[in-house]
Chain A
Amino acid sequence: MTRTVAALLAIAAGMSQAQDQRPGVEAHLSRGAQLMQDQLFEAAANEFEQALELNAADPRARFEFAVCLVSLGRNDEARRQFEQVRQLTGESRYVTYYLGRLDLLSNDYASAIRRLGSLTEEPPFPDTAFYLGVAYISSGDVAGGTKWLERAAKLLPHDYRVHYRLARAYSSGGREQEAAHEYGLYSQLRDEHKNTEKDVRECTSALGTGPLATAREACHRIYDPNDPEKLTLLGQLFGDAGAFAEALDPLKRAAQLDANSFEAWHNLGVSYFRLERYEEARAPLEKAVALRPNFYGSVVLLGATLYMLGEDDAALPVLERAHRLNPADTETAAALEKLRARRRK
């Protein structure tokens, strides 16, 4: 599950049920979520700001806005926004996590250790231990930092950053043998990362220029039956090239390995939908919508799937939600009208 989704779900759960959801907020949140997914943080921040103009008390919009600001390096503004989220929702592990990271960025190691250290029982994200380790090391406490980096290495075994930092920490502590082991892991993971980048370039190029049979060979190098991220990536590459049948196998495997991967479920649903296998599209899209209820692309596709399956009663609220998320989309509006007309008959 992406960190933003998890945080939003938690914050939304803590919200007052009675708050005013004026029209338009959902749409801005949805567009912002899509823009963040595309790493267009300036534009995403703009959407969240517009949502806040409509409802300044919406903690989801404020939280997302703050996360955008962190991504944009506007740390002081981000801190102020997170503090406001805290006022709206009370203490939140997610807010504490980001404030801890902001402390780290502003060289306030004591505060970073205090905040991130308070999250160790129930860390909001797997990299909490990593940042806590970095905070300890930066404060000069190599032993404390090593302890948390060791935990981070267990939680994030494929993250080369963690192994590099841990190797440096072992080196500083004179633990040369362990350092050598971590340097080895770092180098291996870094090489794998670079190879994957190269393989993705070659796969994309092959899918864009040659026959599918040739591309399949080039793309197969990305296939790792035990790595959900790589499998999802491969499925997306096939999907982007219109090879939806090819996308199914890696995406199914990815979803099996990481049941909380929104990307895997969403892309699997898209692939089935494009292949007009609506029965099979339904479950993955329902999973995707459960994980990211504000993501317009999944919601509208689920609505369309239900509509194609003739399940009008189920389709109606989903398409209505899609319309709220993206009122400007005329196709959704038209489909909704069509559905309502069909139901009236």
Chain B
Amino acid sequence: MASRGVRPQPRGKPSGLPFHARFTDVAAHAGLRAPVIYGPPDRMDYILESMGCGVAFLDYDNDGWLDIFLLSGTRREGPVEGASNRLYKNNRDGTFTDATAKAGLVRQGWACGVTVGDCNNDGFDDLFITAWPQNILYRNNGDGTFTDVTEAAGLLHPGKRWGSGCTWVDYDRDGRLDLFVSNYLVFDFDKIPPTGKDPNCNFKGVPVNCGPRGLVPERPMLYHNNGDGTFTDVTARSGIGAAAPGFGLTAVAADLDGDGWQDIYVACDSTPSLVFHNRGDGTFSEQGLLSGLAVNEDGNEQAGMGIAIGDFDTDGRLDALKTHFAEDTAALYRNAGHLVFEDVTLRSGLGVETRHVGWGDGIADLDNDGLPDLFWVTGSVFPEVERKHPEFPHKTPRVLFRNLGGGRFEELLDGAGPAIAEAHSSRGAAFGDFDNDGDLDILIMNINEPPSLLRNDVRGGGHWLKVKLVGTRSNPSAIGAVATAVYGGRRQAQPVLGSSGYLSCGDRRLHFGLGPAAMADLEIAWPSGVRESVAGLRADQLVTVKEGVGVVARERFGS
């Protein structure tokens, strides 16, 4: 990670428009009280300790309520009592019960990323976790328990590797979820230079942990799902291995050019980000530079952390938001079609915010006004620095840009509830409706603190529509599908993702704010290539659409 010394753009006059979402951190009330251990509490001697991990919203027991999976780290000096990845079952009353032990998921280590999806087509979501030094695949047994099947699946690798981003992706459209894993850098506690060793280990004159510059970057990997519980490493033959090494973090799979095949976008830290264009024949070509997604509009690489995919300008194409280091802006890319993206960061008004290191992010309609907003969490990687430079605090607030329409955004420093200004050193973030009340809540990983669960209470009367997709020819999780809602003169596309934000995974039920529109039409592009339309859906309900069948269930929350 590195600062680019970018100064913020001046803030314009506030629009004065009301924002109808209000966020309150209810984690403690909900029972999410255990801290997420990640390195020492007051310093970060190694880059591994500073990067933190992701979180996930999932419905592991198929009861229609979002459960929570929190990754965890540990400490170099030895295991920390109680530190573990944690699974919390949703009690459907705003609280959660720790189900980690019962589920067989107790594990302490350096977990990083998570992707959730049904990889064996048995109707239950499985979990893949990246970690240093070895990734893990958990099969969901369908009875509330999980089994570590990493070795049986052929996913054990020799030596130590720092898996970071990961996503399920059906890249060959065979109806089975394959697996993409990005790797950050070559890491070994005993071989990394000590704090402050050289210019790569200093920030503003303060000795800090070394990297990623000066360390050895890694390459991503692709595993093909054989359909028998095993995976085959196809990194070389798919062309994924041909890309230049980089400091890969979050990986997101989505059909970015609308050709029906899943592409993969990898946020890289201090090296050009990667875009793997799916050629449709089992191979990929790296198109980061040509797509415009590798670097910013001046051709400078940025410290890519998190990626959000959504349609901020409601033109029916998937756009992208990438978060970066402090003294730099996040990057907002508008999809111009044919895998060409324009960097519209400054034009859209995002240049006002450069204060914090950005991580997990989302393009999500938080106030149900029909226009997707932008949100990201922040936090420093150098706790030592704030002692000398108070202007670079370790714990920093959340960032929210409300969508003003016309491609313009306005940062809301307050006015969206108390949880926005609360300061933490956060990393992963997942978006989902944990209390099934028709809006989007946010789950956040905070280093060495309990997580935050930002309950959203939306007023203002904006309508909404939730869409759950179930694949039949496609993978059952429908990962890779794109649903486009047509409402009030807008066309908003949303993908079903296996991973997003920073190393995290959100609610696969797509949430469309509709504003004043009481009806919406839906167009679905399934990962199998099938296209389907559903007309005249009434607002304020969850509809379940089964591939080739149509709407199979409707649910009005709270009724």
Contacts and interface: CB of A to CB of B under 8 A. Distances in A.
A138 B289 CA distance: 19
B299 A190 contact: yes
B9 A73 contact: yes
Interface in B1-45: 7-10
B9 A105 contact: yes
Interface of A: 71-76, 105, 107, 138, 160-161, 163-165, 168, 171-172, 179, 183, 186-187, 190, 201, 205
A129 B340 CA distance: 25
Nearest to A109: B347
B290 A160 contact: no
Nearest to B340: A171
A187 B289 CA distance: 9
Interface string B300-338: 100000000000000000000000000000000000100
B10 A76 contact: yes
A101 to B, nearest CB: 12
A168 to B, nearest CB: 6
Contact of B7 (A71, A163, A179, A205): A71
B244 to A, nearest CB: 10
B270 to A, nearest CB: 10
Contacts of B292: 168
Contact of A165 (B198, B298, B340, B347): B298
For the complex of A and B, 10 pairs with smallest distance between CB atoms = A164-B299, A73-B7, A161-B298, A75-B10, A161-B299, A160-B299, A73-B8, A201-B199, A107-B347, A186-B299
Contact of B346 (A72, A105, A201): A105
A303 to B, nearest CB: 34
Given A73-B10, A75-B10, A165-B299, 15 more contacts: A71-B7, A73-B7, A75-B9, A76-B10, A107-B347, A161-B298, A161-B299, A163-B299, A164-B295, A165-B297, A165-B298, A179-B290, A183-B289, A201-B199, A205-B198
B295 A74 contact: no
B10 A74 contact: yes
A206 to B, nearest CB: 12
Interface residue tally on B, bucketed by range: 10 to 19
A161 B7 CA distance: 18
A138 B344 CA distance: 9
Contacts of A165: 297-299
Contacts of A163: 299
Contacts of A179: 290
- Secondary structure at the A interface, as helix, strand, loop or mixed, is helix
A105 B299 CA distance: 18
Nearest to B407: A107
Contact of B340 (A72, A76, A164, A172): A172
Nearest to B291: A171
Residue among B198, B297, B299, B300 having the largest count of chain A Cβ atoms under 10 Å: B299
Contacts of A205: 198
Residue among A75, A190, A205 having the largest count of chain B Cβ atoms under 10 Å: A190
Contacts of B10: 73-76
16 contacts: A71-B7, A73-B8, A73-B10, A75-B9, A76-B10, A105-B346, A107-B346, A160-B299, A165-B298, A165-B299, A168-B297, A171-B340, A172-B336, A172-B340, A179-B290, A190-B299
B528 to A, nearest CB: 31
A138 B347 contact: yes
A160 B290 CA distance: 15
Residue among A74, A163, A164 having the largest count of chain B Cβ atoms under 10 Å: A164
A107 B290 CA distance: 25
B226 to A, nearest CB: 38
Interface in B257-279: none
A99 to B, nearest CB: 15
A45 to B, nearest CB: 13
Nearest to A138: B347
B248 to A, nearest CB: 18
A187 B297 CA distance: 14
Nearest to A183: B289
B290 A183 contact: yes
Contacts of B8: 73
A234 to B, nearest CB: 18
Given A73-B9, A75-B10, A171 B290 contact: yes
Contacts of A74: 10
A107 B336 CA distance: 19
Contacts of B340: 171-172
B288 to A, nearest CB: 11
Nearest to A78: B10
A168 B340 CA distance: 9
A262 to B, nearest CB: 23
A183 B289 CA distance: 8
A164 B298 CA distance: 7
Nearest to B200: A201
Contacts of A183: 289-290
Contacts of B299: 160-161, 163-165, 186, 190
A161 B4 CA distance: 15
Contacts of B336: 172
Interface string B190-203: 00000000110000
Contacts of A168: 292, 297
A146 to B, nearest CB: 15
Contacts of A201: 198-199
Contacts of A164: 295, 298-299
Contacts of B298: 161, 164-165
Contacts of A75: 9-10
A107 B408 CA distance: 11
A5 B34 CA distance: 60
Contacts of B347: 107, 138
A193 B160 CA distance: 32
A164 B289 CA distance: 9
Nearest to B349: A107
Nearest to B12: A106
A164 B301 CA distance: 12
A164 B294 CA distance: 12
Contacts of A161: 298-300
A164 B199 CA distance: 28
Contacts of A76: 10
A191 B346 CA distance: 26
B151 to A, nearest CB: 40
Nearest to B336: A172
Contacts of A71: 7
A39 to B, nearest CB: 9
